[in-house]
C-alpha cells in the first residue's frame, strides 16, 4: 500500500530530473570547456604544433639509409652497351671478340633488376644539430598552442563577467523602475490629497520615464553581452542556461607582490617559453650552418641481376664503396651561415622585447587590480552612505520637510552608487582575470575561478532601500491628472 502511494512521486521525480539538469546555469568552467571544443584558433594552434612535431621527426630521416629497387629494360646495338651487357649477363664468348661483332654487333635486350642503397655516415654533426633545432621548434609550437588555450579562456572569462555585470545592471534598472513607479504613485496621491503641487507629480513622472529608458538600455546591453559570450565560446547558449548566479561581491583576490608577480610571469608565461625555445633553435641553427663547412662521408652499394629475357639465365654483380666529400668553394654555405646569424639576432631581440612587454603587462594589470579592489571598497561605502541619505530624505519628504527635488536627487545618488558598486565588483573580478592571464597562470579548467555568489544568494533580488516607505497608488491616477498638471505648468 505504501509502495503504491509512493509510485506517483517516484514517477514525478524521474520526469523532473532531466528538466532540472537541463536548467543548470552555465558555469565559467563549462563555458571555457565549450570554447576550447569549438574554437578555430585552438585548432589552428594545435595544427601548427602537430606540423612542428612532424618536422622534428623528418629531421631525423637523414640518419637512415636509403634503399631502392629498379627494374630496367633496354635494347640497342651500341657497341659499348652490347659489350658491357653481355659481360653483365655472363654470356660473353670468344666469338664476341671478332672485330665484326665488336664494331657492328646485333641488337641486344637487357633486363636489369637492381637493388641500391646509400647511407650518410658522417656530415660533421649537421644532421644532429638540425634535429635539436627542430625539437626546439616543436616545443615552441606546443607552448604557443597552450598559450592560445589561455587566451581563449581569458576571452571567455572576460565575456562571462560582462554578462554578470549586464545582468546585475538590468536587475538594478528593474528595481529602480519599481521605485520610480511607486514614487510617481505617491506623488499623484499627494496631489489628489492637496498636500503637494502638480509639479511634484510631473517631476516624478519624468523620473519614471528616465528609469524606464535606462531599463530598456540595460536589457539591450544584457542581450549584447550574451551575444559576446556566445561569440567567445563559438556556439549558441540555450535559453535554459541563461540564468547565472550574480558576481560574488565579497570575493577577495589577493595578488602577490609586484616583484614576485613579474618573476612568476617570466617563469610561467608560455609565450616566453616558446620564444626561449625559438632562441635556442636559432643558436643551434647557427652551429649547424658552421658544421656545413665540414666534410661528409657516405657509403653506397648495389646488387644487380642482368638477363636477355624477362625470365631465364642471368648474371649478377655487386658494388660497394665509401665516398668523402669536401666543398672547396662553399659560397652557398657562407650565405646560409649569414642568414642563420641574422635570424639569431632577430630572435634574441624579440626575446628581450617580450620580456619588457611581459613586465609592462604584469605591472599594468597588477596596479589595475589593486585599483579595482580599492575602488570596490570605496563603492560599497558609498552605497551605504547613499542608502542612509535616501532614508533620511524619504522621512523628511514624508514629513513635508523636503521637496521632491531633494528626494529625486537622493534617488539619483543612490542609483549611481548602486551602478558604480556593480561596476566596481565586476572590475575587481575582471582585473584579477587580467592579472592571472598576464602572469600566465590562468587555467579555469584545472583551477576553477569562484566568481559568483553561493547558490543560496543566486536568486536574491537586488537590495533597494528607496521603495520601502512609499505608499502604492495606481498609476492610472497619475495619467488622469496629466492634463491638469500640464495646465498648471503653463
Q: What is the CATH number of the domain that holds 227?
A: 1.20.1600.10
Same domain for 355 and 420, yes or no, is yes
Query: What pLDDT, in 10s, does the model give residues 108-138?
Result: 999 999 999 999 999 999 999 999 999 999 9
Rounded Cα gap, residues 230 and 168, in angstroms: 19
Return the bridge partners of 48, or none. none
Q: What is the pLDDT of residue 458?
A: 33
Same domain for 360 and 393, yes or no, is yes
Tell me the helices (H) and strands (E) count for the chain, helix number first. Answer: 12, 4
Residue 19 domain flag: no
Q: Which of 43, 279, 271, 48 is nearest to 141 (CA)?
A: 48
Count CB neighbours of 70 within 10 A. 11
Helix (H) or strand (E) holding 32: helix 28-38
* pLDDT band (50, 70, 90) for residue 479: very low
- Residue burial 460-475, b: 16+ Cβ < 10 Å; e: rest: eebebbbbeebeebee
Q: Which of 218, 244, 172, 217 is nearest to 418 (CA)?
A: 172
Q: What is the pLDDT of residue 454?
A: 52
For residue 472, pLDDT beyond 80: no
Rounded Cα gap, residues 270 and 297, in angstroms: 41
* pLDDT band (50, 70, 90) for residue 180: confident
Q: Which of 416, 329, 352 is nearest to 379 (CA)?
A: 416
Residue 356 domain flag: yes
Same domain for 253 and 237, yes or no, is yes
Q: Which of 488, 29, 35 is nearest to 229 (CA)?
A: 35
Residue 417 domain flag: yes
For residue 331, pLDDT beyond 60: yes
Rounded Cα gap, residues 88 and 249, in angstroms: 93
Residue 76 domain flag: yes
CA 235, 240, 243, 244 dihedral sign is negative
Same domain for 229 and 202, yes or no, is yes
What is the radius of gyration, based on Cα positions, of the chain? 41
Rounded Cα gap, residues 78 and 104, in angstroms: 8
Q: What is the pLDDT of residue 453?
A: 58
Sort 92 into a burial class: Cβ within 10 Å, 0-12 / 13-18 / 19+.
Answer: middle
Same domain for 227 and 258, yes or no, is yes
Q: Which three cell numbers stand for residue 204?
A: 516624478
Residue 233 domain flag: yes
Same domain for 94 and 200, yes or no, is no
Same domain for 204 and 317, yes or no, is no
Q: Which domain holds residue 81?
A: 67-122+297-329
Same domain for 255 and 319, yes or no, is no
Same domain for 320 and 397, yes or no, is no
Listed ranges 245-259, 264-278, 393-407; the one with the highest mean pLDDT? 264-278
Provide the residue count of the chain.
490
Rounded Cα gap, residues 176 and 170, in angstroms: 10
Tell me the pTM. Answer: 0.77
The domain total for the chain is: 2
- Contact 185/475 with Cβ under 8 angstroms? yes
Q: Which of 150, 147, 164 is nearest to 32 (CA)?
A: 150
Same domain for 51 and 87, yes or no, is no
Same domain for 445 and 388, yes or no, is yes
Residue 264 domain flag: yes
Residue 8 domain flag: no
Q: What is the pLDDT of residue 262?
A: 95
Distances (CA, A) of 181 to 49, 195, 203, 418: 60, 19, 12, 18
Q: What is the pLDDT of residue 199?
A: 83
Same domain for 241 and 147, yes or no, is yes
- Residue burial 268-288, b: 16+ Cβ < 10 Å; e: rest: ebbbbbbbbbbbbbbbbbbeb
**Torsion region of 362: left, alpha or beta (phi above 0 gives left; psi -120 to 50 gives alpha):** alpha
Amino acid at each position: 500500500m505504501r509502495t503504491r502511494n509512493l509510485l506517483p512521486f517516484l514517477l514525478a521525480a524521474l520526469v523532473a530530473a532531466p528538466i532540472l539538469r537541463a536548467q543548470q546555469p552555465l558555469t565559467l568552467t563549462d563555458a571555457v570547456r565549450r570554447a576550447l571544443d569549438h574554437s578555430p584558433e585552438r585548432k589552428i594552434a594545435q595544427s601548427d604544433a602537430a606540423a612542428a612535431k612532424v618536422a622534428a621527426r623528418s629531421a631525423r630521416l637523414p640518419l637512415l639509409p636509403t634503399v631502392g629497387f629498379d627494374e630496367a629494360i633496354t635494347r640497342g646495338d651500341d657497341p659499348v652497351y652490347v659489350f658491357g651487357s653481355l659481360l653483365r649477363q655472363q654470356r660473353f664468348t670468344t666469338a664476341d671478340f671478332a672485330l665484326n661483332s665488336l664494331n657492328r654487333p646485333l641488337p641486344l635486350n637487357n633486363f636489369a633488376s637492381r637493388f641500391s642503397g646509400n647511407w650518410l655516415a658522417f656530415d660533421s654533426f649537421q644532421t644532429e644539430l638540425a634535429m635539436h633545432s627542430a625539437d626546439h621548434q616543436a616545443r615552441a609550437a606546443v607552448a604557443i598552442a597552450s598559450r592560445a588555450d589561455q587566451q581563449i579562456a581569458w576571452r571567455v572569462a572576460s565575456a562571462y563577467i560582462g554578462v554578470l555585470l549586464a545582468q546585475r545592471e538590468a536587475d538594478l534598472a528593474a528595481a529602480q523602475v519599481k521605485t520610480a513607479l511607486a514614487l510617481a504613485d505617491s506623488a499623484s496621491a499627494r496631489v489628489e490629497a492637496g498636500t503637494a503641487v502638480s509639479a511634484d507629480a510631473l517631476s516624478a513622472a519624468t523620473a519614471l520615464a528616465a528609469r524606464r529608458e535606462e531599463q530598456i538600455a540595460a536589457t539591450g546591453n544584457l542581450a549584447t553581452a550574451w551575444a559576446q559570450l556566445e561569440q567567445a565560446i563559438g556556439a549558441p547558449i540555450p535559453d535554459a542556461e541563461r540564468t547565472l548566479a550574480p558576481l560574488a561581491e565579497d570575493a577577495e583576490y589577493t595578488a602577490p607582490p609586484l616583484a614576485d608577480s613579474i618573476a612568476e610571469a617570466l617563469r610561467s608565461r608560455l609565450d616566453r617559453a616558446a620564444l626561449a625555445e625559438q632562441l635556442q633553435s636559432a643558436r643551434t641553427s647557427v652551429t649547424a650552418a658552421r658544421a656545413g663547412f665540414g666534410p661528409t662521408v657516405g657509403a653506397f652499394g648495389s646488387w644487380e641481376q642482368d638477363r636477355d629475357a624477362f625470365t631465364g639465365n642471368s648474371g649478377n654483380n655487386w658494388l660497394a664503396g665509401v665516398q668523402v666529400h669536401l666543398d672547396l668553394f662553399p659560397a652557398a654555405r657562407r650565405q646560409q651561415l649569414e642568414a642563420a646569424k641574422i635570424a639569431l639576432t632577430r630572435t634574441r631581440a624579440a626575446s628581450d622585447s617580450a620580456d619588457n612587454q611581459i613586465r609592462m603587462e604584469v605591472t599594468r594589470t597588477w596596479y589595475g587590480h589593486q585599483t579595482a579592489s580599492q575602488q570596490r571598497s570605496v563603492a560599497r561605502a558609498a552605497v551605504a552612505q547613499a542608502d542612509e541619505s535616501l532614508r533620511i530624505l524619504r522621512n523628511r519628504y514624508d514629513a513635508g520637510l523636503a521637496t521632491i527635488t531633494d528626494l529625486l536627487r537622493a534617488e539619483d545618488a543612490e542609483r549611481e552608487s548602486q551602478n558604480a558598486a556593480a561596476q566596481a565588483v565586476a572590475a575587481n573580478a575582471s582585473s584579477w582575470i587580467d592579472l592571472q592571464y598576464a602572469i600566465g597562470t590562468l587555467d579555469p579548467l584545472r583551477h576553477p575561478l569562484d566568481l559568483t555568489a553561493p547558490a543560496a544568494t543566486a536568486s536574491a533580488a537586488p537590495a533597494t532601500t528607496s521603495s520601502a516607505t512609499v505608499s502604492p497608488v495606481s498609476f492610472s491616477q497619475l495619467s488622469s491628472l496629466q492634463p491638469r498638471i500640464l495646465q498648471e505648468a503653463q
